[in-house]
Structure 1
Amino acid sequence: MPGPYSMISLGAAVAGRQDADGYVPAEDPEAHTFYRELRPISEEFVPEALAVSGLDRERLIESGSEPAAAMAAFTDWVREVSTGAQPVMCGYPASYDWTFLYWYLIRFTGASPFGHSGCLDMKTLYATKARLPLRAVAKGAMPRELLSRRRHTHHALDDAVEQAELFSNLMRWDPDR
């Protein structure tokens, strides 16, 4: 949970735009991205979770971005890439990433460019479109055409690009076809 534990990296990618005329996917989810590695804010950490990230905690303590500067830069980036549109944070599942991201934004900038509820959970989106109970949903059980072909690396930027592709595929997917 944020506060006692630290967010050590943040990756984001633009998945597309949606307006009254519908959804338009990004041509290349790698074209507009954001990435920062952050200085930890506490001494608490889970060694197994840190190992998955591949990041070195001691290096982050010495040279990671200050959270306030990283969150301000992220807010500026979100505003720039979403000019004329309402930005929405999407994740699979969104609950974990949103909890850390929103907490960090409020704690270090005092505001969120997404507002207090501008997040969309792709797991729920898939369950709704597939007409499945949420407990029956897992990425491994999704139709292959929905999934990104990218390797899942647990690097925040790689994961963001992978999730942008999943979101675009979900938005265009019609399970009745």
Structure 2
Amino acid sequence: EGAPISGFSHQYVMLNKPAGVVTALTDATCKTVLDLINDRDKTEGLYPVGRLDRDTEGLLLLTDNGQLGYQLLIPEKKVTKVYEVTTKEPLETTDIAAFAAGIVFIGGEMCKPAQLEIVDAHRARLSLSEGKFHQVKKMFLSVGKKVIHLKRIAMGPLELDESLPLGSYRFLTQQELQLLKPYFTYKEG
């Protein structure tokens, strides 16, 4: 009707990933995170930013904005990811110091220092800025603790909407996009 249309040239989706779903575009044997998105909401090029293990739950950002995804994942940006962790064995205050010093895996691979906050005997909150293969589980195993539940609750400034049921998704709000603004390499919207 002659009025300019404003909106986003890209899609930004928050998914509360359930356990048992793989973070992949396609998989012949398992349900993928893209299978959880309705066809009407999928755009060409929509992909998950980073990975969550098959049995890990929580926040996963999907977008078709490759530059944003790249900016959130490059090590130089040091984007912090926060996890809620439940362990089989009780946590100890010595674990806090071990994580702060940087865990060394068998074989000599060293993790960057991470912040561990013990919530109770078997639950903790872990903040880290890298993403090695099965890193969180391996870090806890290195201090003698087996992870029995893992959930990502934040990635950089983006926090999981706790009202979003497992397996559900929604588009990011304007406010959430503003929080991500420092990671955009061009103006969006």
Give the alignment's TM-score, normalised by structure 2.
0.26
Larger radius of gyration: 2
Higher helix share: 1
Instruction: Give me the TM-score of the superposition, normalised by structure 1.
Output: 0.27
Bigger fraction of residues in strand: 2
